[in-house]
Amino acid sequence: MTKSNQHLGASFRDPSGFLFLRNGLLYRQINHIYHENYQTLMDSGLYEELVHKHLLIPHEEVVLEAAESQQAYKIIQPELLQFISYPYEWCFSQLKDAALATLKIQKIAFNYRLSLKDCSAFNIQFHHGQPLLIDTLSFEIYQEGEPWVAYRQFCQHFLAPLALMAFRDVRLSALIRVHIDGIPLDLASHLLPIRTWFNFGLLSHIHLHAISQKRYADKTVDKSTITRRMSSTAFLGLVDSLETAVRGLRLKIQKTEWEDYYQEAHSYTSDGLQHKLQLVGEYIDRIQPNSLWDLGANVGLFSRLASDRGITTLSFDVDQNAVEQNYLASKEEGAADLLPLILDLTNPSPNLGWHNNERMSLFDRSSPDAVLALALVHHLAISNNVPLEWLADFFSSLGPWLVIELVPKSDPQVGRLLATREDIFPKYTQEGFELAFRERFDIQDATQIRDSERILYLMKKREDF
């Protein structure tokens, strides 16, 4: 591989082909070994149907010098995504929709005698608000009689985390970060409550599946001695059974302190809230960003000021339920420029996988033109003791523009945070805040929100530091 081609860190397991970058553009090389499957996908009509239904990323065949020319059959250029997100950053319904999309693709593929040969949750991405498959080389010609090769991966990547989130605790999605090839079924089985043994889908696909895996773990199975076959009806029955199991999973809604906050009753008068919305809207119009990150977005009230203007917007929050509400609302609205995601700013997802090079840390993936940090700073500076200079440093590393709200100590929210602890924050004042941020930013505007002590700032990163 020459220096001019950068082989993507996660694209190495499949001999069918791989992704690479050349001159900053993304391409996929298809190897000779895969050509029959690829042509069947393209010629049978499956490609058209899936693209039409927004279930597969469209691509174009290009004439290009291959990255590894000995094995190369064709090079394709897939349509670019607005942002790469990972399953451990998704809320429950995003993961559920990704699972259902995978099964839908499998059912449609079956009509063309094709089948998915893998079911990694990392093969699904949200594009214009909808989940779709980005791995064009995931299909293989269906062999009647053979069980589904991707069944294990589907159960580990999708069914197990969804079941854990629905039956135990929604925060267990974090396990996907630790087990990047899906949650081991014996772990899921141990963590799930007894009542899941009375759910047919979970009994078969998680509990019995885990037992079967353990039983045959160190035994070599000689396929040639097995006379039993899996008919195509049974194959479809398996997919149908998984779909029923996934559809039946629902979250028990958990209330946290954040949800109450954004009922908008507590922190602002209705006049104040309208004022804040108007100000943020004006700032966004001034900046004219192509992309925007709303940090601590809660249910995305302010994120929508950007996404409604057609700006590619990522709406981050640490609270799973807030992100869930945000996502469900965006689905109903058909919001194509908004992607809600889970993010703990005090512990963002790092580089993961082989050589820590398969899944990138959030800040390495892309950077926005503008950042919203509304009603956020006090949670970082007070609850998390992050010095204001470090906050300024952090925000300036993200992008050129910042809209940030200072919530002073006189505000009841901060009063609540300091209620049971010592006030060790002498610099947390308007002067201290502005001094710290002037190290990295030019303060272009500062306006106090009506009926409130909170101040909204528009800042631009300094060129000269």
Partner 1 sequence: MNFLHLSSEIAARMNLISVLLRHNMAYLDPGSGSYLLQLLIAGLLGSLFVVKASWGRIKTFFRRLFSRRDNDSSDEE
Residues that bind partner 1 (CB under 8 A): 13-16, 33-34, 36-37, 117-118, 140-141, 143, 147-153, 155, 204, 208-209, 211-217, 219-221, 226, 228-231, 233-234, 236-238, 240-241
- Of 213 and 444, the one with the shorter C-beta distance to partner 1 is 213
In the complex, least distance from residue 50 CB atom to partner 1, rounded to whole angstroms: 19
In the complex, least distance from residue 393 CB atom to partner 1, rounded to whole angstroms: 43
- Of 153 and 196, the one with the shorter C-beta distance to partner 1 is 153
- Of 18 and 437, the one with the shorter C-beta distance to partner 1 is 18
- Of 145 and 415, the one with the shorter C-beta distance to partner 1 is 145
Beta bridge partners, 145, equal 230
CB 17 within 8 A of CB 41: no
Q: Output the CA torsion 315→316→317→322 (10° steps).
A: 30
- Of 39 and 385, the one with the shorter C-beta distance to partner 1 is 39
Q: How far apart are CA 293 and CA 339, in angstroms?
A: 10
Buried b or exposed e, range 398-418, using 16+ CB within 10 angstroms: bbbbbbbbbbbeebebbeebb
What's the chain's Rg over C-alpha atoms?
A: 25
CB 357 within 8 A of CB 346: no
In the complex, least distance from residue 45 CB atom to partner 1, rounded to whole angstroms: 20
In the complex, least distance from residue 247 CB atom to partner 1, rounded to whole angstroms: 13
For residue 187, the tally of other CB atoms under 10 A from its CB is: 16
- Of 15 and 350, the one with the shorter C-beta distance to partner 1 is 15
In the complex, least distance from residue 114 CB atom to partner 1, rounded to whole angstroms: 11
Q: What pairing do the DSSP bridges indicate for beta strands 370-373 and 291-294?
A: parallel
In the complex, least distance from residue 30 CB atom to partner 1, rounded to whole angstroms: 12
Q: How far apart are CA 130 and CA 254, in angstroms?
A: 25
Tokens (6 digits) for 250: 């629902």
423-to-14, 189, 428 alpha-carbon distances in Å? 56, 46, 10
In the complex, least distance from residue 374 CB atom to partner 1, rounded to whole angstroms: 44
Nearest CA to 299 out of 273, 334, 323 is that of 323
Task: Write 16-24 long-range contacts (CB < 8 A, 24+).
Answer: 16/137, 17/137, 18/67, 20/67, 22/64, 22/67
In the complex, least distance from residue 184 CB atom to partner 1, rounded to whole angstroms: 11
Q: How far apart are CA 155 and CA 436, in angstroms?
A: 49
- Of 74 and 454, the one with the shorter C-beta distance to partner 1 is 74
- Of 212 and 254, the one with the shorter C-beta distance to partner 1 is 212
CB 373 within 8 A of CB 296: yes
